[in-house]
Structures are given as C-alpha cells and as structure tokens.
Amino acid sequence: MRIEDYALLGDLETAALVGRDGSVDWLCLPRFDSGACFAALLGDHGHGRWRLAPGAGGPAVRRRYRPGTLILEQEWDTPEGTVRVTDAMPPRDEAANLVRVVEGLSGRVPMRMDLAIRLDYGAAVPWVTRTADGLSAMAGPDALRLRTPADIHGEGMSTVAEFAVEAGDRVPFTLDWHPSHCPAPEPVLAFHALEQTDAFWREWSEVSTYDGAWPEAVGVSLRVLKALTYAPTGGIVAAPTTSLPEALGGVRNWDYRYCWIRDATLTLFALAQCGYAEEALAFRDWLLRASAGAADQLQIMYGVAGERRLPEQELAWLPGYEGASPVRAGNAAVDQFQLDVYGEMLDLAWLGVSSRRQVQPIAWKRQVAMIEYLEEAARLPDEGIWEVRGPRRHFVHSKVMAWVAFDRAVKIAGSAELEAPRERWQRIRDELHSEICSQGFDADRNTFTQSYGSRELDASLLIIPTTGFLPPDDPRVVGTIEAVQRELLQGGFVYRYSTGDAEGAVDGLPGKEGAFLPCSFWLCDALEAIGRHDEAVALFERLLGVGNDLGLFAEEYDPAAGRMVGNFPQAFTHLAVITTAHRLSGLPAPKGHAPAAPA
C-alpha cells in the first residue's frame, strides 16, 4: 500500500493503520511506543498483519469514516455481490480492543481472514492456542485474544477463516490485548462497542467551535489530534508510526511515537482555537510535568508519560517501507539542544496569562529559571528545529524563538506586575533582535537566512511575522517570504531548506527528502499576513487536495512521485491545517499569540 492508502484507527492510547486491501499492517500494543504486533507496514506479511476482505482480494472501491468519527467503513464490489468491513478501536476501558465487522450488502460474497500475529515488531512468533470462541496468542509480556463466530484454522504460521456473507449478514471479529500474566479480559460485544465508539466520537466532534470555510478538513484534523492523544497522561504523539521514510528508499527514517515540546505548544494553540479546553489543559499539564526540572535539562521531546530516555536502536530484521532502511525504534534526537523550545514554552505561558490575567507563582518561578538560563544559552549554536545530525549552528529560527522567550517574559512580568529584572531582559531581547537582523539577514537578496553568515534559506523563517519579531509589512519579512517562494517552492510545495550543491548538505545525510507539508501551510499563513489573501487561499485549497480521501496527511509529500512520504498521519501537519484554516477564515487566534512587534 502507498502511505496514503492507509486509514487511522485509535483508542486514545495507541493506533492502527488499515490499508485499502483490508489489512491492518501496523499496530503497537498497549501504547503508541510499544512493540508492534502487526509490522507488515515496515516489512511483509510475515512481520504481522490482519487482513479481512473478499477472498478474491483487491482494494476497497469505497471507504469513508462515519461522519464525525474515526470508525472506518470500506466496501468492495465483487462479481458475487457487495460487502462492507467496518473497523474501530473503542476508547480504552479494561483492555485494548480492535473491532471488525463484516456486513453483506448484496449477493453472496466469499470472504477470507488472514491473521498473522508477530510480537516485538515482527520478531516474535507467539504460541497460539485454540479457544472455544477463537484463539489465544502469547509471547513474553504480551497476550492477544481473537474472538469470532467464524470457523478458523491454521495455515502455515497464520490463522485463516473462510466464510461467505449474504445481504443482512454481520460477522464480528474482536482482537484484545492484555498482559500475559493476567487473565484475558471479558469479551467485547462487537456491535455494542461500535455503537459506543460512534457515540463517543460524534459527541466529541460536536464540541468544536470552528465556523470557518473548511469545516470538514478541520474536523478530521481535530479527530487525528485526539486519536494521537495518550489519554492517561494527556500527551500527544507526533505520529503513530516509526521509520516511514522522508524519501522513498532513503535513510531519513525516524521514530515519531513521542511527544515534542514544539508540537505540544502548537497543538495547544490549535485545540484552544476550536474550543477543546479539556484536551488543551490535559496537554498543558503533561507539558508541565514532563518539563519539570532544571532549565538546562529541558528536552525537546519526551515519552507519552514523560519518559526522558528514548534510546535509539535499529531493528535489523525489518527491511523497511519499500526497502527504506534502517528501521529505528527510539529517537537519538532526544539529546539535542534546540533553543526554540524555550521560546515555545514562554509563548505558551504568555497565552495563559493574557487569557486569564493571572500567574501561578510556581509556574512563574520555572519561567524565570528558563530565562535566567537563556541569558547565556541564547548565545550558543544549536541543532535547530529540523534536528539536523550535523554540527551545531546559529540557526536564525532558533534565535528568533529565543527572542520570543525574552519578549514574552517581559510581557508576563509587566502584565501581572511581577518582580523581575525587566530592564535586563528587555536589553537582552533588543540585543538579540539587533544581532539577528545584522548576522542572519542577507541584504543583497533581502531575506533572512538559515543561519548566521550563510546564504541558505529555511522555511522556518516563515514564522517570523506570526511571532511578532517584525511586523508583516516590514520589507525584510516580505523579502523573506518571496525568497522562500523563489528558492524553496518546488512543484507547488515548500521544502524545509536548500541543500546547496550537495544533497544533504544541512543534515549530513545522503539523498533528498520530500516537501515538508507544514512549511507549505506556513507559507499560506505568511501570505495572509502580508495581505495576499487570494493567493493564500488558493495554495491552502491545493494543499488540502493532496490529503488522502479520508483527509489524512503524512509529514511530507513527494511532488515528483505524487505520493506522501514520512510518518503518517502527522500531528504537525494536521495542526497546521487547523491554524491555517482559522487564519484564512478571519477567525481570532488565542489571546496572547503573535503579539505586535515592539516599537
């Protein structure tokens, strides 16, 4: 399957990807970052999958989410008749459940189920035992239980069911996970679970306050963010997958099943825009817990429960998506130094203060500690927003976000009349502003650059007018936007940065990558900021058109191949859809965000 041929299911603790062919090719249990029991996405059928489709095979001819939900309905038209398979993951109660129901719509359609459970990312073949209503599979700490009225039998290392459905027939299948040392959970009533899941998602979707021009795109994106939420802690993962390549056949294959500080703050803004206060507060609380500690120990990412250690390893037995290797679990970028996270933390704090006009004393102490650390750290080079695995640089985006940190700290202290060295912070803020404008700006081309002294461009510079660093009508802002259009806009999509003559010159890795979709949405925001509304809307609607038929987006898009690349679905892209739709609809941003630049 192409990446865009997959659909997302989620139970607010983990997620599954289901292909058009009716195969669940990716599912990690019990958490987003657990080992996969179905890993065919990064290998083949022998690495685990659960296919449920007509015996003749082939892709579904129609699919959709039930309105307002993440319940997937796929239909096949066959010579014998028409059949529908409905898939859902009910929000977690006692155990993790994947519910699948085959429904005959016309004729008499032969069906086939192929179940190959492979635990630990396809490495472990479990011990399978027949039960009265299905089977039990166990290996190490994991146990799964399949329940169905269909007759099943073994074929090779898989479990198979062959049956037929006529119009009106409904055949349920449920797969439950539980710790192997615990008894199996009580059976899930498949039809009842579908009804409950439908009601949950519809009720949740109705909370949205978005009333702009693109309700369907925003609604789907909000449901994706909700599905990527780890409900026990409130953390939201960047994506439910690992190692989907940023270039087909390439080596930029990273594990995104963790929570990034940057994504957290941007997601909070997106949720706040749409009226989801409960989710925003839960994610804020996760952020405060995860980031607690010394200011110089703030990480760029954490595990879903706030874990700090995310060691990276290569899973050599998996060949990778379409041969893109290595396959990685864990993310070594956790140890990187990225200045922008401090700016995002203080920007989030200013949002809270400007909305409520109050400051929590403990929170303020932590914010002061961050600023005091930044008084020296803001002068240092870092790895930057794109987590390049090369030498540190003085990235302009990082410096702008350090400026944001001091700017918001000054505003918080002034708004709440807090005791603070405001004059010193103002001086450092102004010094940073002057330094960025002198060392990070190419006057000959009238554009800011990727790093001090370089000529390369970077799409992260598009955020300059939305941070308040400079007003949108400043010639340097307009010049930067136009330079990005000239040099980074290729095939109608924005690439993250220019690589110069050598491929991978910035990150030190061979080969190129796809166009980073959030950057293309940032261009929409920037065009809107400088008054080019019609151009921004035209670009936005064209970008929406590269989402799949369910409205899902990956991290990147390859214009040459006409395919999505990168981890899928990507929270960063979907939150960009939400915020851009708000801006282009003329709806107000959350209070405190993007204040006007100081005189």
Average pLDDT estimate for 313-318 = 97
Closest CA to 302 of 278, 333, 266: 333
125 and 221 co-located in one domain: no
Q: Which residues pair with 451 in a beta bridge?
A: 395
Predicted pLDDT at 502? 41
| Inter-CA distances, 537 with 214, 464, 515, 544, Å | 11, 20, 19, 11
Using pLDDT thresholds of 50, 70 and 90, give the confidence band for residue 595.
very low
Identity of the residue numbered 132: A
Query: Could you tell me if residue 318 is inside a domain?
Result: no
Predicted pLDDT at 429? 97
Predicted pLDDT at 150? 97
218 and 191 co-located in one domain: no
Average pLDDT estimate for 215-227 = 97
158 and 246 co-located in one domain: no
Taking residue 261's Cβ as centre, other Cβ atoms within 10 Å add up to: 22
Identity of the residue numbered 587: L
104 and 118 co-located in one domain: yes
| Inter-CA distances, 520 with 299, 488, 497, Å | 27, 10, 12
Predicted pLDDT at 193? 97
443 and 516 co-located in one domain: yes
* Per-residue model confidence as pLDDT tens digits over 542-556: 999 999 999 999 999
Residue 203: helix, strand or coil by DSSP? helix
Helices and strands in the chain, H and E counts: 14, 28
For tokens 């390859």, the residue is 558
Question: 67 is written with which tokens?
Answer: 């309105």
Cα–Cα distance measured from residue 486 to residue 402, given in angstroms and rounded to the nearest whole number: 28
188 and 251 co-located in one domain: no
Query: Could you tell me if residue 150 is inside a domain?
Result: yes
What is the span of the domain harbouring residue 528?
207-307+327-584
Using pLDDT thresholds of 50, 70 and 90, give the confidence band for residue 348.
confident
Q: What percent of the chain is predicted at pLDDT more than 90? A: 82
- In this structure, what CATH number is given to the domain that contains residue 56? 2.70.98
Mean pLDDT score across all residues of the chain: 92
Question: 350 is written with which tokens?
Answer: 């200013």
Predicted pLDDT at 349? 85
Average pLDDT estimate for 291-317 = 94
Predicted pLDDT at 487? 94
Query: Could you tell me if residue 594 is inside a domain?
Result: no
221 and 145 co-located in one domain: no
Q: How many domains does the chain have?
A: 2
Q: Which residues pair with 121 in a beta bridge?
A: none
Q: What share of the chain is helix, strand, coil (3-state, %, to 5)?
A: 35, 25, 40
Side-chain-facing half-sphere of 54: CA atoms under 13 Å: 24
Using pLDDT thresholds of 50, 70 and 90, give the confidence band for residue 590.
low
269 and 406 co-located in one domain: yes
Are 88 and 17 within 8 A, CB to CB?
Answer: no
120 and 260 co-located in one domain: no
* Per-residue model confidence as pLDDT tens digits over 572-588: 999 999 999 999 999 87
Q: Between helices 422-439 and 396-416, what is the axis angle to 10°? A: 160
Does residue 599 surpass a pLDDT of 50? no
Q: Which of 204, 225, 241 is the last residue of a domain?
A: 204
- In this structure, what CATH number is given to the domain that contains residue 477? 1.50.10.10
Cα–Cα distance measured from residue 135 to residue 234, given in angstroms and rounded to the nearest whole number: 34
Are 411 and 350 within 8 A, CB to CB?
Answer: yes
Does residue 357 surpass a pLDDT of 80? no
Does residue 501 surpass a pLDDT of 50? no
| Range 433-457 burial, b when 16+ CB lie within 10 A, else e | bebbeeebbbeebebbbbbbebebb
Average pLDDT estimate for 409-431 = 91
Predicted pLDDT at 500? 47
Q: What is the full DSSP assignment across 406-427? A: HHHHHHHHHHHT----HHHHHH
Cα–Cα distance measured from residue 461 to residue 467, given in angstroms and rounded to the nearest whole number: 10
For tokens 């472990």, the residue is 124
Identity of the residue numbered 315: L
231 and 190 co-located in one domain: no
**In whole angstroms, how large is the CA radius of gyration of the chain?**
25
* Per-residue model confidence as pLDDT tens digits over 557-576: 999 999 999 999 999 999 99
∠ at Cα 307 (304, 308), nearest 5°? 130
501 and 413 co-located in one domain: yes
218 and 179 co-located in one domain: no
